[in-house]
Amino acid sequence: MLLKPKMLSFQSSKNVLSLTEDLLVRIYELLAAESDRKSFRLVCREFRRIDSLTRRHLRVIRIEFLPILLGKYPRLQSLDLSACPRIDDGVVSLLLTRVGPGSNSPSLGHWAWGLKSLVLSRATGLRFSELEMLTRACPCLESVDVSYCCGFGDREAAALSSAVGLRELNMDKCLQLTDVGLAKIAVGCSKLEKLSLKWCMEITDLGIDLLCKKCVDLKYLDVSYLKVTNESLHSIASLLKLEVLGLMACPLIDDVGLQFIERGCPSLKVIDVSRCEGVSSSGLIYVVRGHRNLLELNAGYCLSELSTALLHQMKNLNHLEVIRIDGARISETSFQVISANCKSLVEIGLSKCVGVTNMGIMRLVSACINLRVLNLTCCHSITDTAISAIAYSCRSLVCLKVESCNMITEKGLCQLGSFCLLLEEIDLTDCCGVNDKGLEYLSRCSELSCLKLGLCTNISNKGLSYIGSNCLKIHELDLYRCTGIGDDGLEALSNGCKKLRKLNLSYCNAVSDRGLAYIGRLEELSDLEMRALHKITGVGLEAVAVGCKKLADLDMKHCEKVGDSGFWALAYYSKNLRQINLSYCGISDMALCMVMGNLSRLQEAKLVHLSNSTVEGVELALRACCARIKKVKLFAPLRFMLSSEILEILHARGCIIRWD
Amino acid sequence: MDLKERVCDELQKEVPKGASSTNFNTQHQQKWEDPSSTLDYSTRIEPPFQAFNQTSQTQSLLLCNNQIKVPMQDGSINDLLQASKIQDWDPSAMLNNLSFLEQKIHQLQDLVYLIIARKGQVLGRPDELLVQQQQLVTADLTSIIIQLISTAGSLLSSVKQTLSAATTSLGQCGEFGGVVFPSSAQRLNDGVQPQNAGGSKVSEPPNSIDITSNNGNEQNNHIVEEHELKDEEDAEEGENLLPGTYEILQLEKEEILAPHTHFCTICGKGFKRDANLRMHMRGHGDEYKTPGALAKPTKESSSEPTIIKRYSCPYAGCKRNKDHKKFQPLKTILCVKNHYKRTHCDKSYICSRCNTKKFSVIADLKTHEKHCGKDKWLCSCGTTFSRKDKLFGHITLFQGHTPAIPSDEIKVAPAGTSDGATNKVGSVNFNLSSYVSSESEVQSSSMDIKGGIDDAVGYFSPLSFDTCNFGGFHEFP
């Protein structure tokens, strides 16, 4: 698909232009990857015009370009500002004042009118007054995400409630939100269909009750981690359209409350009661009995045992696609019952389940041949026999998690590599049985995109080279404490896995500057963890900084040999860096100031035990970045050594300081 | 309204049925009083009764004409009335009453003969004695009529129903200078004849019986009404006093607002409590120090049944005013004082803490001050709540209302105004309620039967129906 426009451009320009606009738009819309779209709009001016006309979604990384970008894309429907270091009041008012009459560029005014979706996740700098201006300026707003805006509370909720047409709202971890704010939203946004209130700890039954009475169209409701009681479930049960209900880790909910759910919520499809301490299998029996059409049942870590009574009820769940019963005791016969009745199962989660045996797994997969996701984390008694059975039966397996299943060897991986060619994700963390040979078999799964090999000490560069040469689509690789991995392995990796975005090299002691130079070839790399690489110096870091333009998250704790030259390079080149961990690094005051001040996207920094820097240096660095930093971890004694002024500034701007 | 009309019709239907006894209707008051002043009883004795019957019927017809015509129907109400009649009707008592009436009529007949005879002797001379005799005849007739009504009333008013609201007719009675109405509920219910059979006290029965019989009607109205009115009733007045079974007192505005109610006869100093006055009196001499003088004055007549006192608010149109259609009496003087101050006086006590809430009773202010500032749950409409769940209940109930977010440091002035709005709303609501009640009264008075009674007040001339007159006349024969 990528080639298409390029090939066109090679032909005479007349031919390119002979394609009508709607055809070009169609071609453009078929481009899924952002990089492809980038290539498309670089072809010619006409293509660029198509891009700006057709573009619906915009994820802004640098706030300074936002006004220009908004002017360019008049058809924008979705705006994601979550990656911006800081959306503060000034930005919003700047954007909105340009909208007003008399502005020099009238095209700017259009962006807000068509906007349907707004992502303001982690926009901690925003105040309620600006939020209200923003929501008022966007009359068509249907979806707002203000998750992880920890300072948000009732005022912000009140501001959001002016978006009358709102259908989806995510307020996860808006810690100050109380029933009052929720009531504002419930009354103001009565069309709400999807609402997530995770970690909004102040919400009580009263708020939920009001919500359920006012927003009767709710289809998705997540009240995970809230201190709500069965009363809330009583209210929720009245929601006729509710399909998805998240009750994860609600400590005050018990079986009595689930009885209400049995009789209510006629449209319920998905329920998550995982980590609910009060819920037992009898509570789940109520749920299952009342909802024969349940698609997803998530009951991880709330069952001590998959009881026979529950199993008996589960026989009726013929449509069940996903079941997670992590942490429960399960018998071999239970697997038989599940496989005999729940034939449409797509995902099963058995993480840390006691009693998962080869025989059990074999019985399970004998009928559940549609399984795509299987989580067997910490099922220690699993051996190659079970893996072979899985591989043989479940040909469409996409994700397999067998963390810490020590008995898996290359034989099992051989079966996987032979039959599960659609496998995209495999977690082999802490599987000591995995060796180079095993990786060779595994590398036959060419669709593999996520591979976790942490603590697999038996693999070496050779094994990694198989991956590097065959698994070209890999984008996440975890080599945590794979001490056998060295620079050569990284070379093979960098040659093949060009799409690698996330890499963990922590404690791979053999990696040196040369290895980092190979890493620097990975242009897509955005997330690099390389703790305690004692061999690397500033040269290696410089190579990474120069090469990995997209690097956003860098963890280099305990890389003590890296000198200032590396940090200077980092400050100069890694403009996209968003998170950095410099703890226990030998960074000097100057370099620290440069890094913190120069990296304009930096939002989170961990600056503990900086051996070569002084209090003044840290203070200066904080001053340099205080306008945009959101979260900073500092050495605890500094609390009394830093000036109160800077601490106040940070606090006032919504920055969270963690003292360590 | 429907129900009331139905009852009205029922009652009118009742009239011919109860032919053995007298017709009694709410209109009787005015009817049987009318002839006494206009018709010449000295010439004809029987006819007035007939005329009375006829007029009462026409009157009720008139009444019906004023209202919306409702087809006659035999509903459950009729059944109810019949049933209750059968249940409590005491034939022997009835016979007693009737024979007493017979005697009485004969007496009267004799008297009239006497007058005729004397008329022949002294012709054309307006004699003082003649006037007195005429009045006597009138009085006797009145008592006969009353007796008849009460006899019939024993049939109707025996329906034992719980009634909390007193009726307007009682209010009217109150206007006759606080006439004492004995609590005759028991007597009525037992169907025992009133004590004027023995010729003891004539002063009370005429009024009381009339009123109770009226209340018989009222009662029937209420039986039906109660279903729809229940929630309107004041919880405070949950007692089930039959109307007419208690005495109604009405203090004047000045009396209510007077700071003191007990005054020293020697120095004039005022006291709120009688006990305090007695303590004070000790200073005026040794004669006030005796245990007898200091003791709480006891009810002197323990033999007589204690009369329950209830109070009426002097404010016309108030539900607590005896003239109100749905009159609800006040229990004590303190209730009257508080009610009058709260409802009809300016709110002069302002809470010093919030500077918005006003009260007319100082105790209310003190109660408020205990909680002032705790009403932190505020609705966008301005209503405050001391409890969050109450606020949320309110928001659930009212479309578009949202909780107001308390503004701490940002807007001080708006907070003040919103509080002001709160207060306004509160007072507006209050006013509204009082308006509503008066309005409904106005409406209903033009529409339902009790409105008719209200009008009847006008016909009631206290002159011709004074208790003193009766008392004086009774001594006469």
- Region A612-627: what's the mean pLDDT? 92
Q: Identify whether B236 is part of a domain.
A: no
Chain A residues inside the 8 Å CB shell of B392: 179, 183, 206-207, 209-210
Q: Which residue has the higher pLDDT, B11 or A615?
A: A615
Is it the case that residue A62 has pLDDT exceeding 90? no
- DSSP β-ladder status, B384-385 and B377-378: antiparallel
Contacts of B118 (CB under 8 A, 6+ apart): B129, B130
Q: Identify whether B106 is part of a domain.
A: yes
Chain B residues inside the 8 Å CB shell of A184: 402-403, 405
What residue in A sits closest to B380 (Cα-Cα)?
A184
Contacts of B69 (CB under 8 A, 6+ apart): none
- ipTM of the complex, rounded to two decimals: 0.84
Q: Identify whether B48 is part of a domain.
A: no
B407 Cα to chain A: minimum distance (Å): 9
Nearest by CB to B396, which of A154, A181, A213?
Answer: A213
Q: Which of A654, A626, A551 is nearest to A150 (CA)?
A: A654
pLDDT value of residue B72? 45
Number of Cβ pairs < 8 A linking chain A and chain B: 34
Q: With an 8 Å Cβ cutoff, are A181 and B405 in contact?
A: yes
Q: Are B462 and B176 in contact (CB under 8 A)?
A: yes
Q: With an 8 Å Cβ cutoff, are B395 and A209 in contact?
A: no
Is it the case that residue A436 has pLDDT exceeding 80? yes
Q: With an 8 Å Cβ cutoff, are B392 and A183 in contact?
A: yes
Q: Residue-wise pLDDT tens for chain B (477 aa)?
A: 444 445 444 444 444 444 444 444 444 444 444 444 444 444 344 444 444 444 444 444 444 444 444 444 444 444 444 444 444 567 777 788 888 888 888 888 888 888 777 765 655 555 677 777 788 888 888 888 877 777 776 665 544 443 433 333 343 433 443 334 444 444 444 444 444 444 444 444 444 334 434 444 444 444 333 343 333 334 344 456 676 778 888 888 887 887 787 888 888 888 888 888 888 888 888 888 888 777 877 655 555 566 788 888 888 888 888 888 888 888 888 888 888 888 888 888 888 877 888 888 888 888 888 877 776 788 989 888 888 899 999 999 998 899 988 765 443 333 333 333 333 333 333 333 333 333 333 343 334 333 333 433 333 333 333 333 443 344 343
Chain A residues inside the 8 Å CB shell of B400: 187
pLDDT value of residue A389? 95
pTM (global) more than 0.80: no
Q: With an 8 Å Cβ cutoff, are B405 and A187 in contact?
A: no
Nearest by CB to B402, which of A155, A188, A209?
Answer: A188
A250 Cα to chain B: minimum distance (Å): 22
Reading the block at residue A486, the tokens are: 């060295």
Q: Which residue has the higher pLDDT, A534 or B436?
A: A534
What residue in B sits closest to A157 (Cα-Cα)?
B405
- Region A384-389: what's the mean pLDDT? 95
pLDDT in tens, A256-301: 999 999 999 999 999 999 999 999 999 999 999 999 999 999 999 9
Is it the case that residue A633 has pLDDT exceeding 60? yes
Query: What is d(CA A587, CA A554) in angstroms, rounded to the nearest whole number?
Result: 15
pLDDT value of residue B127? 64
Chain B residues inside the 8 Å CB shell of A155: 405
Q: Identify whether B450 is part of a domain.
A: no
A143 Cα to chain B: minimum distance (Å): 21
Query: What is d(CA B103, CA B164) in angstroms, rounded to the nearest whole number?
Result: 38
Nearest by CB to B403, which of A155, A183, A214?
Answer: A183
Q: With an 8 Å Cβ cutoff, are A206 and B392 in contact?
A: yes
The count of C-alpha atoms lying within 13 angstroms of the C-alpha of A466, restricted to the half-sphere facing its C-beta, is 18
| DSSP letter, residue B283 | G
pLDDT-derived band at A17, boundaries 50, 70, 90: low
Is it the case that residue A531 has pLDDT exceeding 60? yes
Chain B residues inside the 8 Å CB shell of A183: 392, 395, 402-403
Domain tally for chain B?
A: 2
**How far from A310 is each of A176, A364, A367, A660, B23, CA to CA, in Å?**
39, 17, 20, 46, 78
pLDDT value of residue B436? 37
Is it the case that residue A84 has pLDDT exceeding 70? yes
Q: With an 8 Å Cβ cutoff, are B396 and A180 in contact?
A: no
The domain boundary residue, chosen from B315, B348, B381: B348
A295 Cα to chain B: minimum distance (Å): 33
B265 interfaces chain A, CB cutoff of 8 Å: no
Is it the case that residue A414 has pLDDT exceeding 60? yes
**How far from B320 is each of B83, B331, B335, B361, CA to CA, in Å?**
33, 11, 11, 18
Q: Identify whether B324 is part of a domain.
A: yes
Q: Are A607 and A636 in contact (CB under 8 A)?
A: no
- Region A510-528: what's the mean pLDDT? 95
What residue in A sits closest to B377 (Cα-Cα)?
A180
pLDDT value of residue A270? 96
Q: Are A471 and A497 in contact (CB under 8 A)?
A: yes
Tell which of B390, B391, B405, B408 to mutate to test the A interface (max A CBs under 10 Å). Answer: B405
Contacts of B54 (CB under 8 A, 6+ apart): none
- Region A78-99: what's the mean pLDDT? 78
Lowest mean pLDDT among A400-414, A473-487, A521-535, B191-205: B191-205
Alpha-carbon torsion angle B154, B159, B164, B165, nearest 10? -60
| DSSP letter, residue B315 | S
Q: Which residue has the higher pLDDT, B127 or A217?
A: A217
A182 Cα to chain B: minimum distance (Å): 10
Extended strands (E) in A479-538: 502-504, 527-529
A253 Cα to chain B: minimum distance (Å): 20
Q: Identify whether B140 is part of a domain.
A: yes
- Region A194-205: what's the mean pLDDT? 95
Q: With an 8 Å Cβ cutoff, are A180 and B400 in contact?
A: no
Q: With an 8 Å Cβ cutoff, are A184 and B396 in contact?
A: no
Tell which of A204, A206, A216 to mutate to test the B interface (max B CBs under 10 Å). Answer: A206
Q: With an 8 Å Cβ cutoff, are B392 and A181 in contact?
A: no
Q: Identify whether B420 is part of a domain.
A: no
Question: What's the residue count for chain A?
Answer: 660
Query: What is d(CA A1, CA A8) in angstroms, rounded to the nearest whole number?
Result: 12
Q: Are B170 and B245 in contact (CB under 8 A)?
A: no
Chain A residues inside the 8 Å CB shell of B401: 187
Q: With an 8 Å Cβ cutoff, are B395 and A210 in contact?
A: yes
B394 Cα to chain A: minimum distance (Å): 10
Percent of all residues in chain A with a pLDDT value above 90, rounded to a whole number: 73
Q: Which residue has the higher pLDDT, A23 or B259?
A: A23
B421 Cα to chain A: minimum distance (Å): 20
Question: Residue B324 belongs to what domain range?
Answer: 246-294+307-348
Tell which of A187, A204, A205, A212 to mutate to test the B interface (max B CBs under 10 Å). Answer: A187
A→B contacts (Cβ < 8 Å), by residue, are 154-155, 158, 161, 179-181, 183-184, 187-188, 206-207, 209-210, 213-214
Q: With an 8 Å Cβ cutoff, are A179 and B392 in contact?
A: yes
Q: With an 8 Å Cβ cutoff, are B402 and A161 in contact?
A: yes
Lowest mean pLDDT among A514-528, A586-600, B5-19: B5-19
Q: With an 8 Å Cβ cutoff, are A179 and B388 in contact?
A: yes
pLDDT in tens, A105-149: 444 456 788 899 999 998 888 888 889 888 888 899 999 999 999
Q: With an 8 Å Cβ cutoff, are B405 and A213 in contact?
A: no
pLDDT value of residue B327? 85
Query: What is d(CA A123, CA A118) in angstroms, rounded to the nearest whole number?
Result: 11
Q: With an 8 Å Cβ cutoff, are A187 and B389 in contact?
A: no
Q: Which residue has the higher pLDDT, A467 or B9?
A: A467
Q: Please, which residues 377-406 of chain B have a Cβ atom closer than 8 Å to chain A?
A: 388-389, 392, 395-396, 400-403, 405
Tell which of B391, B392, B399 to mutate to test the A interface (max A CBs under 10 Å). Answer: B392
- Region A571-591: what's the mean pLDDT? 94
Q: Identify whether B217 is part of a domain.
A: no
Reading the block at residue A50, the tokens are: 């198509």
B380 Cα to chain A: minimum distance (Å): 10
Q: Are B407 and B376 in contact (CB under 8 A)?
A: no
